[in-house]
Amino acid sequence: MPLYEESVHKTLDRIRRSKLNAFITITGEDAIRTARGVDDGAVKGRLAGMTVAVKDCITTRDVPTTCGSKILSGYVPPFDAEVVARLKKEGAAIVGKTNMDEFAMGTTTESSYYGPTKNPWDLTRVPGGSSGGSGAAVAGLECRMALGTDTGGSVRCPASFCGVVGIKPTYGLVSRYGVIAYANSLEQVGPMARNVSDAALLLDVISGHDPKDSTSVGEADGAHYTDHLVENARGLTIGVPKEYFGEGTDKRVEDAVWNAIMKLNKLGADYREVSLPHTKYALSAYYIIAMCEASSNLARFDGLRYGLRTGKDENWHTTFSRIRAEGFGEEVKRRIMLGTYALSEGYYGKYYLKALKVRTLIKRDFERAFKDVDVLAAPTMPFPAFRLGERMDDPLSMYMADVDTVPVNLAGVPSVSVPCGFAGKLPVGVQFIGGFFDEPKIIRTAYTFELNTDFQKLPGEF
Amino acid sequence: MSDVIIGLEVHCQLNKLNSKLFCGCSTRQQGLEPNVMTCPVCLGLPGALPVINKKAVEYAIMVGLALKCKVAEHTQFYRKNYYYPDLPRGFQITQYDYPIASEGVLTVDTDGEERTVRIRRVHMEEDPGRLVHQGSIETSKFVLVDYNRSGMPLIEVVTEPDLRSPKEARRFINKLRNILEYLDVFDGSLEGALRVDANVSLKGGSRVEIKNISSYKGVERALLFEISRQHSMKRRGVKVIQETRHYDDERNCTITLRTKEQAEEYRYYPEPDLVPLSVKGWEPRLRASLPELPDAKRERFKVQYGVSDNHARVMTAEIRVANYYERVAEKCEPRMAATWVADCLKGELNYRDRDVKDAFPPGKMIYILEQLKSGAITDKGAVEVIRTLLDEDGDPKVIILAKNLAKVETNITKVAVAQVLKENETAIRDLRAGKIQAFNFLVGKVMEKTSGRADPTEVNLLLRELLECT
């Protein structure tokens, strides 16, 4: 059997035998057809024949797209998201749609209507979220690379918990056309891979201006991030934001991140402590903005035109209310209600506008810091992967887990999470945060770190 | 002095644009099958994103300038959140703070004076889909939705409460339509092109909003109904409550939709998928591109063609009539042309409830007026040709021949006059005895004899001549 086709078959077999539940839909035939095309020479491109998995909130033409929700049951989009179109153009063999927290609202992938995904390092633990299916699939060798979306850490968290690389690009760098919105002003599609080189390559392919997305910026063909896969830490100044360490952070995580900073220091980088003083307000501001936007974004799911349609049709209000009551999970309902409340007359100024002000202050914190340093280094997650079910009944403690990732989304700056050690058997991630469009710098930092360390391990067989 | 206070919110489709407000779908959808002129964006499919149609923004700015508004430098779209089956995203993309234009004026003729109506704001928004009920809204067992209309570009013009009567409101709407058609951004003759919400109150009373007025005539009728309802309540000592009422065009009445306590909460917030739009620097170019507007054209017609104020007013009240007139006036005596376009043609069209765009081309009118001027046909004949052209179309030359409308020769008229004088000696005697009416009787007899084809002026002249001789 030809090379690419065989390789895709092997990957598909692995997915089908897997205990991870990383995929909601497998697109085996499409992947095999593409691989054959590559073997024949008919399909070419920068990702020719490479297996890629796509998070299930990213629209795929003629392939069910569920957002991990019951409410989108039966929905088959008639169009491709821009990022998917770019994957196809570059010859990627798309193997399937990955599991996720319902509408990307979560940190564990447990809120999926399609059941939780498991962490390949320990099947009793969560893979992180909300792009947990993508993270687990990459770590579990069920694809070579994957797309996730990062609204408040949803690429970086699973990257950290699953021991892989994940990039949250600068807001506007990657088209959101076809990405089913949770919180439009915060989210970006980001690449996930087992090493920095693959992540940079995937970013090359998906980035670049798209006229279909008014918030997209840059040149049409994107920048060339693979050009910045350069081993060189000299001249680099790393900022260590003190607010990201200390109380609430697992000691083993803190040690691993500090070790990473010291390693880069040995390789020629300078480091200094910096302060991002408004960090403590980030979590509240993030959840208010995200929930407000979500309450509006999710209003379209009424069962009228697509998705779940159950029972007998009665009058309009009764029917769509029943469909929404049945179709949405608890966490989604919680966020829609809170967001609706916060946008209501009399509360709008107190919550939404105030959160926007905090957002501006947080952006300024980063701008000020990047006057003195090139990149910031901080824990991606304050602790390693927790046990399945551990935080499901305590939404507040679940939200707290996002404390180190959300400021980046509020500011719109890029960040890459790379493995930097282990807490027991579980991987730990460090994130390198850059200024606006400073992807070249964070990629260079992450690549240099990766080349000089030995944390890119694979989990054992599961 | 009227105790009526009216403010209007007028929604007009910018139906002269090629594409919808946020997607590439065509705005031409008259007569299409339902739901064929749609795409992921205007169907609100998950993941599809809106992109602003720049041309729509230009049109909206032109409307703002024509209404003497201040044009914003930065404008922003908002989401108006509410659930309705015609709204595929569960929110409408509209404007809230930072409308494209604000603080303008529009003057309308009232009886004997001009009323200056202040314009509060002009903003852009998308049209929802269209609901189709089987039978009436109350009896229909289901509702069908046609999303062809979804995403059609609208402008909403909001006035201050400066109007004082239903008639003024109708005149405001007509003038606004007229201006939009001058700007060539709007065709008011297309179905659903215009929809009006009206706020109406009696001095000192609560304000009632009437929704769903969708015809030009409906505006006046709905307001008349609502004002008489409020007057009657006032007479009976019943307090008018603040509420929103629905106008039922078929039954010509307004019915309660919701009271103040049930007021909807729209949770407006800035549309995150559309970044704030800077239109700084667009204004001079667009201002320069503005065409001559109705008031200016009216003054020019008076000066350039020497036509009366009334004729100028009638002809500039519709861009198509004004253009028609100018093409006729190029070739004919302008004042004569004005009489025939403003009085005759426009009158005949109004009688038939038809638009000048459905009339015969100006070339035919020019031919008729030439025939008239040369004396080949009479005024009466000209009217007959115009009516025939409107009802049956055809070639004016052929119509004149076929209907035997050519003016009779002078010597034939002479014969007829002589005969009439011979046959009506009693009348002549009456005339000589001082009964002036007898002269008109004689003229009538001559016209009868010539089947109305004699020139009345000539008949007059000949009669006098011959009467003096005898």
Tell me the per-residue pLDDT of A277-288, one tens digit each, with 9 for 90 and over.
999 999 999 999
pLDDT reading at B287 higher than 90: yes
For A148-182, give the DSSP string. EEESSSTTHHHHHHHT-EEEEPPTTSB--TTBPPS
Q: What digits encode the pLDDT tens for the residues A167-202?
A: 999 999 999 999 999 999 999 999 999 999 999 999
Exactly one of A7, A69, A112, A154 is catalytic; which is it? A154
Which residue from A59, A72, A296 is facing B91, i.e. has the nearest CB? A296
Binary contact (B48, A177; C-beta < 8 A): yes
Mean pLDDT rounded to a whole number for chain A: 96
Assigned token pair, A251 = 């000691």
Distances from the Cα of B136 to the Cα of A313, B140, B149, B251, B280, angstroms: 19, 6, 20, 12, 48
Choose, out of B77, B267, B274, B275, the residue to mutate when testing the contact with A (most A CBs < 10 Å): B267
The whole-angstrom separation of Cα B79 and Cα B94 is 6
Percentage of the residues of chain A whose pLDDT score is greater than 90 = 92
User: With contact defined as beta carbons under 8 Å apart, do A88 and A48 qualify?
Assistant: no
Binary contact (B91, A299; C-beta < 8 A): yes
Percentage of the residues of chain B whose pLDDT score is greater than 90 = 64
Q: Which range (B130-139, B240-249, B323-332) has the least confidence?
A: B130-139
pLDDT at residue number A306: 95
pLDDT reading at B286 higher than 80: yes
Binary contact (A214, B79; C-beta < 8 A): no
- Residues of A within 8 A of B145 (CB-CB) are 304
Binary contact (A79, B83; C-beta < 8 A): no
- A284 is annotated as an active-site residue: no
Our CA-based measurement puts residue B216 at a distance from the nearest CA of chain A, in whole angstroms, of 31
CB pairs under 8 A between A and B: 101
User: With contact defined as beta carbons under 8 Å apart, do B72 and B98 qualify?
Assistant: yes
pLDDT at residue number A122: 97
pLDDT reading at B407 higher than 80: no
- Residues of B within 8 A of A59 (CB-CB) are 45-47
Binary contact (B267, A340; C-beta < 8 A): yes
In order of their start, the domains of chain A are 3-282+352-451 (3.90.1300.10)
User: With contact defined as beta carbons under 8 Å apart, do A214 and B50 qualify?
Assistant: yes
Which of B31-65 are b and which e, b meaning 16 or more Cβ less than 10 Å from the residue's Cβ?
eeebeebbbbbbbbbbbbbbbbbebbbbbbbbbbb
Q: Is residue B50 within 8 angstroms of chain A, CB to CB?
A: yes
ipTM surpasses cut 0.90? yes
Query: Quick one: how far is CA B184 from the chain centroid?
Result: 14
Output the pTM of the full model: 0.90
Binary contact (B267, A59; C-beta < 8 A): no
Any idea where the domains of chain B sit in the sequence? 4-286, 292-402, 410-469
Our CA-based measurement puts residue A284 at a distance from the nearest CA of chain B, in whole angstroms, of 19
B470 band by pLDDT with thresholds 50, 70 and 90:
low
- A197 is annotated as an active-site residue: no
Q: In 3-state terms, what secondary structure has residue B277?
A: strand
- A55 is annotated as an active-site residue: yes
Question: CB under 8 Å to B377, separation ≥6 — which residues?
Answer: B368, B371, B385, B400, B405, B406, B407
pLDDT at residue number B137: 67
Which residue from A58, A79, A293 is facing B272, i.e. has the nearest CB? A293
Comparing alpha-carbon positions, the chain B residue that sits nearest to A175 is B49
What type of residue is A166?
G
B88 band by pLDDT with thresholds 50, 70 and 90:
very high
For A260-307, give the DSSP string. HHHHHHHTT-EEEEE--TTHHHHHHHHHHHHHHHHHHHGGG-SSSSSS
Percentage of the residues of chain A whose pLDDT score is greater than 70 = 100
Binary contact (B83, A344; C-beta < 8 A): no
For A356-367, give the DSSP string. HHHHHHHHHHHH
Assigned token pair, B385 = 């040709």
Mean pLDDT rounded to a whole number for chain B: 91
Domain B410-469 has CATH 1.10.357.10: no
> Using CA of residue A298, residue A301, residue A306, residue A310, what is the dihedral sign?
positive
Q: Is residue B111 within 8 angstroms of chain A, CB to CB?
A: no
Region A360-376: mean pLDDT is 98
